[in-house]
Every structure is written in structure tokens, then in C-alpha cells.
Amino acid sequence: MRIDRDLGRFRDIVRGKVRRDLRKHMSSNELVGKQGKKLVSIPLPQIGIPRLRYGDNKKGVGQGDGQGEGPGQGQEAGDAPGEHLLEVEFTVQELAEIMGEELELPRIEPKGESQAQTTKNIYKGIAKTGPESLRHFKRTYRQALRRTIASGTFNPERPVIVPIKEDKRYRTFVPETRPRSAAVILYMMDVSGSMGQEQKEIVRAQAFWLDAWIRLHYEDVETRFIIHDAAAREVDRDTFFRTRESGGTLISSAYKLAIEILEKEYPREAWNIYPFHFSDGDNWSKSDTQLCIQLLRDKLIPWSNQFSYAQVDSQYGSGQFIKDLEGTFVEEDKVVTSRVPSRDAIMDSIKTLLAAGR
Amino acid sequence: MANFVSSRFLRDGRELPSALEEARVGIEALARSYGLDFFDTIFQMCTYEEINMIAAYGGFPTRYPHWRFGMEYLQMQKSYEYGLSKIYEMVINTDPSYAYLMDCNLPVDQKLVMAHVYGHVDFFKNNLWFQHTNRRMLDQMANHATVIRRIQERHGETEVERFIDLCLSIDNLIDPHAPHIKRTRDPLAEEDLEAAQLDGSIPKLRSDRRYMDKFINPPEFLESQRQKKADEVQKQQNFPNEPTRDVLAFLIDHAPLQRWQRTVLEILRDEAYYFAPQGQTKIMNEGWASFWHTRLMTRHILTDAEVIDFADHNAGTMAMQPGRLNPYKLGVELWRHIEDRWNKGQFGKAWLDCDDPRARAAWNTDAGLGNERIFQVRRTHNDVSFIDEFLTQDFCEAQGFFTTTFDERSGRWVMDSTEFGAIKKQLLDMLATKGTPRVYVTDGNAMNRGELLLEHAYEGLDLQLEWASQVLGNLSALWQRPVHLHTQLEGKPIALVHDGSELTKSPREEAS
């Protein structure tokens, strides 16, 4: 429709506004919460054209018996700016792109694409049987024509062709294997007593954006969620963000479980692997930290595109773990660490985590 | 989608199906038989998407490219999809008129809308306030769109769009009465003045004898004459000569604009003037159309099976929603009131002088002038004069009007008064300003520094400061010098000055 152009212009303007306010959007959980099936709806103050108008009109005229609900207000009330909210919908993909532009994130180049395969059914074969809805008209006609000519009944004066059952040809699918790019995101989170509600919200927001960005680059993305305190277990998305346990923290338990899952289900030739670990940086003991480093060095890091560790500040945690990691993996550029002291830091943290484009 | 008619401009929608076309012919004949006099009206069936699009374009199929049409479309789409609102009908004031029907409405709705539309078109054709509107506006708008597109190709989309944004923010600063006034300048007087200015002499009364001169032209008189002349010369030098409400025209004539900018501003001004009378006659126009659709439907068109749906939908349109005055309701009731009064002869000196409520209630001279009177009124009035002349105390009481005020303490709107004078004043105030303050350009060379001075004719309501600031900023972008606005805030005279980057507020002496 003709309006599409103006609509597109308007969406561009809105897109620009969202981009400018990205920090605000990213640090609030509103977006994450507003996520529908595919669309995220963003409330924006209405974008208006300013005109000279009266301010709050405190007088009006009403009609009726004065019973019942509702005021009679002046007809100009409600024209003040900021009163109308405009709900604009974006796909998660669009949001990720906006974020990519704003943070100037490099695109991820998938590895191991040739190895990963996917099978798709493609309609490109012809068969003698099939449903009428898939009948190939041209092929059927050609077959019938051939038969008519061969049997000598073809009359050029009256070239009527009547196909019989044997003439009919149908479209049919053949399975085809294609290379594809696939990624698995492993979210690991410390749910020990020291991680509070606020910390979890931060993790949630971060996970949303990381997810969106990685999904932009792969055809197939799977996500797995691991929570741990002194022991680790795999959970679904909902539980991941809700659970709060008490007790100690053994980070190695999560890494062990992650390695187990990867070994069993995600051959590293076929998958791009993205482990993200969120914690407040408090580990039970030095020896466990040593074990963690061991696991990372031997397995997780070599297998992964990138191992990311984000440390959420909490009032209880010592925050030691990030120092240990940074100290150990100075040379290893597949390890990325970031600190998220508050909501406002989410955007910068994401920039750090995704800056390498791996 | 739409099957486009190839024409100078694109047109949406499809022809009426035969059953509706038949109904249309009947309704048209009926409407004419009641004395309605309208342009030929072409009806088109549209999907809700098409109708929302046309509504976003202000009724016209082709407009210049601008994002706000997209925004309005989006809002209407949302609002329709959530079931909050629905556009029944749309009609354009052109000759021939175009009206759009939504294809998912019931046949009874379509008939209602057709009768309603004929009312509107009769009003467009005959009301004086529409006499100066361009009836070829469909073509004109399409031309405007072409011109602006061409300008965009040459000067860049974003730049032109940004300029349109500036212009739109002041497109309510026009003089809605201007098309109806012939302003004639007196060239002779100007010449005289110029001559007088040159010779430096002071106009005196004629005295034949020199010794009488100092009696006929005493020094005080000479002084006052000198002063008067100085004033007039001053006035001539003022720029503009007289305060002008048509700020857009003033900018077109005097602002340092590039040629394409001037063209764009002229186009937007043209369109603003086209839409102005519709705002000035909203109550009358909607009332008139509703008056006729109810009359035609209930007396002639409705079948038994349709009565309930008609009553339901009609009541939906007429309902007073809490929170706003419904122009349909007020309008239709007032038209009926006028017809009734003139039918019963409730006018003239005898009626006005009569104080006896019982006599007034029973007053009926069988004058039978109602029909004639409403047709006269629809020709000559606009909303302000309509309310001013015909909103009587009787009517007000019968309709149960009241004024409301916003109670700061409870944060709610409360009933303020049921007193007739207060209600009428409030209504007239609302209509006279229409939410748009009257602003005049009084000086294009303020402070003798080429700054622009605007004065707001303050009527007791403060401007919305945030927006005023943005508008002044836009004005200063157009004028390329600081812009002053004299107004009042919370009862104190104040000068707002925008220098292109920020607004300053300062108290001001209430001078002339």
C-alpha cells in the first residue's frame, strides 16, 4: 500500500529512538518481560509535532444527569505531550540488529559450518503417483501428448489431448542434506545464597540480549541452562531465572555438567559452542578454583568459540573468581570476562562479551 | 489488494455492489426530495486497511511523503484491531465528492452512512464557511505531493522531511477568517503619507489671514498634529503595518528561506487553510448529517428487521462519553431544537418578552417555519455563531449540560456549575479558540535587530510551555534570528525568547 513508505519512515524514526535509548531499554527488564512469541512490544512516548497549544485545561462542559462514572472534561485535555503511549512492535531479530549497530559489534563468523548437516525436504522430483493438489500440469500434458502421438490418434486439426491415469505426473520431494550453522548456548548461573533477586534480573536481561545476538548469526540455536550451588543440575529456562538456593558454591560442578552435556550431545566439529557463566565470583575453595581452571583449560575452552564469564556484584560475594580467571588466562583470548556492578553496566558488559565477534 | 483505477491520482476501493447501489439511488432521491442540495457523490467500498490509510492521509488518496501519516495509520490500525474504534465513513469535500464505506459493515450501516454522507456534502456545498475552499483539492493535493517529491529528489529526503516538521509545528498559526476578508490597501493614503514624510511639513488647518493663524493653529494643536504625523510615519515603518495572525504568510513573505523551502511552506499553508473550515463547523456539520440520517432512515429507509441494529449503532454514535463533549449529539439536538422552535413560532419579540413558563411551554403558533429556518442556518453559521445564537437556557436545561472543573485535591474532574451563563461561556470559549491560541506577528524587526516578535492574545489560559518552547525553537530555525513571544503565565506578563538553542523566560512590563 502507499502508506507503507510513510510507515517505513516512521519505523525508522522509532528505530532511531530505540537506538538512542538503548541503554535504558537494556537495563530495564521491561522488554524482556514484554517478549511475546516473536515480537517485543516497546512502549514509547508518542512522537508528536509540537504546536502552540494551551496547557492543562482545567475547565470543560459535560452533559447528562451527572450520575455514573466519569468526568466531563474539556475537549483539549489529553493533548499534552507524553500522555499517549505508543506501542511499537519489533522482532527480537530487529532489536538485536539495533543493538549491534549501537554497540558496533562485529558479526560472528561461524566455524565448522561444513561439518554440520541438516536434512530438508525439497520439492524437486517427479513421481507417477501423488495427491492431485501436487499434479504437475505441464509434465502431465507432455506425457499425454507423447502417448497420443505415439498411438497415432493425434489430430492436428483438432488437437485435443485427454490425459489418462498413466499420464499423470506429480511433484514430489527429495530429501537433501545441506550444511548449516548451528550453535549451542550454555548458560550457567550461580544460584547460591549470595546471588540475590537483583543479580538474577541482571543475568536475565543479559541472557536475553546475548541470545538475540547469537541467534542472529546461526540458523539453529539451542540453549541449555545449568544452575549450581554446591552441586549443578540442568533446568529449563523458567527455573533458571527463578530458582534461588542457599548453601555453598562449587563452580566446578557446573563446568563438569557442561562438559558432560557437550560430550554427549554436541560434537564440537558440528557445533559452535558458547558457554556463559554468571556468578558473583564467590567460590568455595582455592582448590575448587584450581579444578575449574583445569576443566576450562583442558576441555571447555578448546571446545568453545568463546568462554564468557560475567561477574555480577553482590553484597556477599568476594568477587575473587574473576581475578583468578583473568590472572590465569592472560594469554588466552577465547576467554572473555566482564564485571556487571549494576543494571546500567549491562550494555557495556554485553559489548565486552561480544566484542571479539567469535 | 485495491484494484487501482488509473487516473491522475490513485483511487482506492471498489464500486458498490449492486444491492447497495440500488439503495444509494433511493437514498439520493430521498435526500433531494427533502431539499438537500449536494455535489455528485461517488461511493467506494474499502477494506479497513484502506480506509485507515485514507483516514491517515486526512481523507485524500495522495499526499506528500511524511512519517506522521505512517504513525497515524499505525495508531488507527492498532485501535481497530483491538476493537477500540472503527471508522464508519469518510467523505471528502470536493466536487464531485468522494465517500468511502467499509466493506465489513452491515447493509443497514452502509445505508445509514450514505444518508449521513449526503448530509455532509449538502453542508459542504452550501455553508458559507466552505465557499472559499478549493473543490478540486484532490488534484491539488496530488500536485502538492508531486512537487514535494520532486523537491525531495533534489534536496534529499531527510532534509525536506526535517523542514516539513518545522512547518507543521506552526501550521495552526493561520488566520481562519482570512479567506473571507478582502483587505484593501488605500494606495493614495500611502502616497500622501510618503509625500508628507518627505516634505517634513506639518499639516495645518487653512487660514486665509496670517494674523488668524496662531488662533486657528495654536502651538498645542500643531504639536499634536506633529505627533500624529510622526505616529503615522512610525506605523508605516512598522513591519508588518498591522499585527497579522497569518504567521505562515508572513514567513513566506519575509523569512530568509530558500526557494524550495518557500514552496514547501506555501503548500503546507494551502493545505492548512483547506482543513480550517472543517474545524470551524464540526458541531454543525456532524449534527446536520446526523439529523438527516436519522430522519431519512426512520421515516423511509429502515426495514423492520433493521430497526434494532440501526438504533444500536445510532445510539453508539450519539452517546456522550464521559470525558468529552460529543459534537454529533450536541449538533443534532440543537438542529432539532431549532426546527421545533420555528415550527411552533417560538421566536421574535413576543416570545422573548414572555416570562410565564407555562405560556412558554405551551407556546405554539403553528408557524411551520422550522424547515426553512434550518436550511437558512446551515448556510450562514459556523459553530461559534451557531452556539451563540441558538443555545438557549431552555435547551441547556433540557439537555442537562454542566461545566466541569479539575479538582486538584482529589485529582478528578468534578461538576462545577449548571448555570446557563457559565455553560455557554465555557462552550463558546472552547469553540472560539479550538485549543489554538491566537498569535499575531507584531514586529519583524524587533529590538531593531531583525528579531521576530509574536504576541499571544491572552484569554485566560496559559500556553503549554514545553511545546511553546519547541515551537519557538522551530520558528527561530525558520526566521534564523531569535524569536520572542509575549504571553502570560500564571497571570503574569512574560516574554519567551528562543535564540535557536535555548529558551529564556523573563517577566515583562505590560505595555501596549
Cβ pair B322:A69 closer than 8 A: yes
Instruction: Report yes or no: A10 at the B interface, CB cutoff 8 Å.
Output: yes
Average of per-residue pLDDT across B453-466 = 87
The B residues from 17 to 36 touching A (CB cutoff 8 Å) are none
The A residues from 66 to 85 touching B (CB cutoff 8 Å) are 66, 68-77, 79-81
DSSP assignment letter at B323: T
Nearest to B318 by CA among B354, B342, B346, B294: B294
Looking at residue B183, what is its pLDDT? Answer: 62
Of all residues in chain B, the one with the smallest CA distance to A59 is: B405
Q: Which residues contact B237 (CB under 8 A, 6 or more apart)?
A: none
DSSP assignment letter at A297: I
Size of interface A-B (CB pairs under 8 A): 184
Instruction: Report yes or no: A5 at the B interface, CB cutoff 8 Å.
Output: yes
Q: Which three cell numbers stand for residue B378?
A: 446551515
The region that residue B274 occupies, defined by phi over 0 for left and psi between -120 and 50 for alpha, beta otherwise, is: alpha
Percent of chain B at pLDDT > 90 equals 48
Residue boundaries of the structural domains of chain B: 18-127+281-304, 139-175+244-279, 187-237, 320-433, 439-507
- Tell me how close the Cα of B373 comes to any Cα of chain A, in angstroms: 26
Looking at residue B320, what is its pLDDT? Answer: 75
Q: Which residues of A touch B474 (CB under 8 A)?
A: 50
Q: Which residue has the cell 518481560?
A: A33
Cβ pair B324:A56 closer than 8 A: no
Q: Give me the residues paired with residue B406 across strands.
A: B413
The B residues from 167 to 206 touching A (CB cutoff 8 Å) are 168-173
Q: CA end-to-end span of chain B, whole Å?
A: 61
B53 to A5, A222, B161, B311: CA distances (angstroms):
12, 41, 20, 29
A23 to A168, A207, B385: CA distances (angstroms):
62, 15, 54
Cα angle at A175 between A170 and A178, to 5 degrees?
135
Task: Give the 3-state secondary structure of B439-456.
Answer: EEEEEEEECCCCEEEEEE
Instruction: Report yes or no: A39 at the B interface, CB cutoff 8 Å.
Output: no
Looking at residue B236, what is its pLDDT? Answer: 58
Cβ pair A7:B464 closer than 8 A: no
- Cα separation, B177 vs B438, whole angstroms: 12
- Tell me how close the Cα of B293 comes to any Cα of chain A, in angstroms: 23
Average of per-residue pLDDT across B269-288 = 92
- Tell me how close the Cα of A63 comes to any Cα of chain B, in angstroms: 4
Average of per-residue pLDDT across B345-357 = 88
Q: Which residues of B touch A45 (CB under 8 A)?
A: none
- Cα separation, A51 vs B474, whole angstroms: 10
Give the mean pLDDT of chain B: 86
- Cα separation, B227 vs B244, whole angstroms: 25
Looking at residue B162, what is its pLDDT? Answer: 93
Q: What stretch of H or E contains B35?
A: none
The region that residue B502 occupies, defined by phi over 0 for left and psi between -120 and 50 for alpha, beta otherwise, is: beta
Report the Cα A313 to chain-centroid distance in Å.
25
Q: Which residue has the higher pLDDT, B182 or B289?
A: B289
- Cα separation, A213 vs A107, whole angstroms: 9
> Does the pLDDT at position B187 exceed 60?
no
- Tell me how close the Cα of B18 comes to any Cα of chain A, in angstroms: 27
B185: amino acid identity, one letter? R
For B404-442, how does the pLDDT look when each residue is reduced to its tens digit (9 = 90+)?
887 778 877 778 888 888 889 888 888 877 668 889 999
Q: Is-contact A224 A261, C-beta < 8 A? A: yes
Looking at residue A73, what is its pLDDT? Answer: 32
- Tell me how close the Cα of A85 comes to any Cα of chain B, in angstroms: 10
Q: Which residues contact B97 (CB under 8 A, 6 or more apart)?
A: B38, B39, B40, B41, B42, B91, B117, B121, B124
Average of per-residue pLDDT across B74-87 = 82
Q: Cβ–Cβ contacts within 10 Å for residue B471, how many?
A: 28
Cβ pair B406:A65 closer than 8 A: no
Cβ pair A50:B474 closer than 8 A: yes
Instruction: Report yes or no: A59 at the B interface, CB cutoff 8 Å.
Output: yes
pLDDT by residue for chain A (358 residues), tens only, comes to: 788 999 999 888 888 888 888 887 777 766 666 565 677 777 777 677 888 888 765 667 777 654 433 333 333 332 333 345 677 788 888 888 888 888 888 888 777 655 566 777 888 889 999 899 999 999 999 999 999 999 988 888 988 888 998 999 999 988 887 777 788 999 998 887 777 778 888 888 888 888 888 888 887 888 999 998 888 889 988 888 777 777 778 888 999 999 999 999 888 887 889 999 998 888 888 888 888 888 988 888 888 888 999 988 777 667 788 888 888 888 788 888 888 888 888 888 888 888 887 7
- Tell me how close the Cα of A52 comes to any Cα of chain B, in angstroms: 5
Nearest to A87 by CA among A43, A52, A50: A43
Cβ pair B325:A63 closer than 8 A: yes
Q: Is-contact B478 B251, C-beta < 8 A? A: yes
Q: Which residue has the higher pLDDT, A303 or B209?
A: A303
For B53-62, how does the pLDDT look when each residue is reduced to its tens digit (9 = 90+)?
999 998 888 8
- Per DSSP (E only), the strands in A259-343 are 272-279, 307-312, 335-340
B226 to B198, B199, B213, B255: CA distances (angstroms):
14, 13, 16, 34
B224: amino acid identity, one letter? S
Q: Is-contact B470 B485, C-beta < 8 A? A: no
Q: Is-contact B416 A59, C-beta < 8 A? A: yes
How confident is residue B489, by pLDDT bands cut at 50, 70 and 90?
confident
Looking at residue B294, what is its pLDDT? Answer: 95
Q: Which residues contact B34 (CB under 8 A, 6 or more apart)?
A: B292, B295, B296
Q: Which residue has the higher pLDDT, B35 or A206?
A: B35
- Tell me how close the Cα of B301 comes to any Cα of chain A, in angstroms: 30
Report the Cα A319 to chain-centroid distance in Å.
29
DSSP assignment letter at B5: P
Q: Give me the residues paired with residue B42 across strands.
A: B98
Q: Which three cell numbers stand for residue B315?
A: 445510539
B152: amino acid identity, one letter? Q
> Does the pLDDT at position B207 exceed 80?
no
Looking at residue A238, what is its pLDDT? Answer: 82
- Cα separation, B125 vs B137, whole angstroms: 14
Cβ pair A7:B73 closer than 8 A: yes
Q: Read out DSSP for A68-108?
A: SS-----TTTT-STTSSEEEEEEEHHHHHHHHHHHHTPPPP
Cβ pair B415:A72 closer than 8 A: yes
Q: Which residues contact B342 (CB under 8 A, 6 or more apart)?
A: B367, B369, B370, B372, B373, B374
CB nearest B470 (choices: A5, A50, A58)? A50
Choose the mutation target among A5, A6, A42, A79 for the interface with B, i.e. most B CBs under 10 Å.
Answer: A6
Cα angle at A80 between A78 and A85, to 5 degrees?
75
Query: B403 phi and psi, to 5 degrees?
Result: -95, 155
b/e string for A325-354 if b means 16 or more Cβ within 10 A? Answer: beebbeeeebbbbbbbeebebbbebbebbb
Cβ pair A75:B462 closer than 8 A: no
Q: How many helices (H) and strands (E) does chain B have?
A: 21, 10
Q: Read out DSSP for B258-316?
A: -HHHHHHHHHHHHHHHHHHHHHHTHHHHHHHHHHHHHHHIIIII--GGGHHHHHHHHHH
Q: What stretch of H or E contains B355?
A: none
Looking at residue A75, what is its pLDDT? Answer: 32
Cβ pair B405:A6 closer than 8 A: no
Cα angle at B400 between B399 and B402, to 5 degrees?
130
Q: What stretch of H or E contains B321?
A: none
Average of per-residue pLDDT across B356-380 = 91
Instruction: Report yes or no: B270 at the A interface, CB cutoff 8 Å.
Output: no
Q: What stretch of H or E contains A61?
A: strand A59-63
Q: Is-contact B50 B82, C-beta < 8 A? A: no
DSSP assignment letter at A298: I
Nearest to B329 by CA among B265, B266, B400: B400
Cβ pair B323:A72 closer than 8 A: yes
Looking at residue A25, what is its pLDDT? Answer: 78
Choose the mutation target among A52, A59, A84, A86 for the interface with B, i.e. most B CBs under 10 Å.
Answer: A52
Instruction: Report yes or no: A131 at the B interface, CB cutoff 8 Å.
Output: no
Q: Is-contact A271 A181, C-beta < 8 A? A: no
- Tell me how close the Cα of A42 comes to any Cα of chain B, in angstroms: 14
Q: Which three cell numbers stand for residue A7?
A: 510507515
Q: Which three cell numbers stand for residue B505?
A: 523566560
- Tell me how close the Cα of B266 comes to any Cα of chain A, in angstroms: 18
CB nearest A63 (choices: B165, B399, B405)? B399
Cβ pair B71:A47 closer than 8 A: yes
Q: Which residues contact B347 (CB under 8 A, 6 or more apart)?
A: B341
Instruction: Report yes or no: A159 at the B interface, CB cutoff 8 Å.
Output: no
- Tell me how close the Cα of A61 comes to any Cα of chain B, in angstroms: 4
- Cα separation, B505 vs B493, whole angstroms: 11
CB nearest A3 (choices: B69, B415, B435)? B69
Of all residues in chain A, the one with the smallest CA distance to B473 is: A50
Instruction: Report yes or no: B323 at the A interface, CB cutoff 8 Å.
Output: yes
Q: Which residues of B touch A3 (CB under 8 A)?
A: 53, 56-57, 69-70, 73
- Tell me how close the Cα of A237 comes to any Cα of chain B, in angstroms: 31
- Tell me how close the Cα of A9 comes to any Cα of chain B, in angstroms: 5
Pick the CATH number of A180-354 from 3.40.640.10, 1.10.10.10, 3.60.150.10, 3.40.50.410: 3.40.50.410
Beta pairing, strands A85-91 & A39-45 = antiparallel
Cβ pair A51:B467 closer than 8 A: yes
Query: B24 phi and psi, to 5 degrees?
Result: -60, -45
The B residues from 431 to 450 touching A (CB cutoff 8 Å) are 433, 435-437, 439
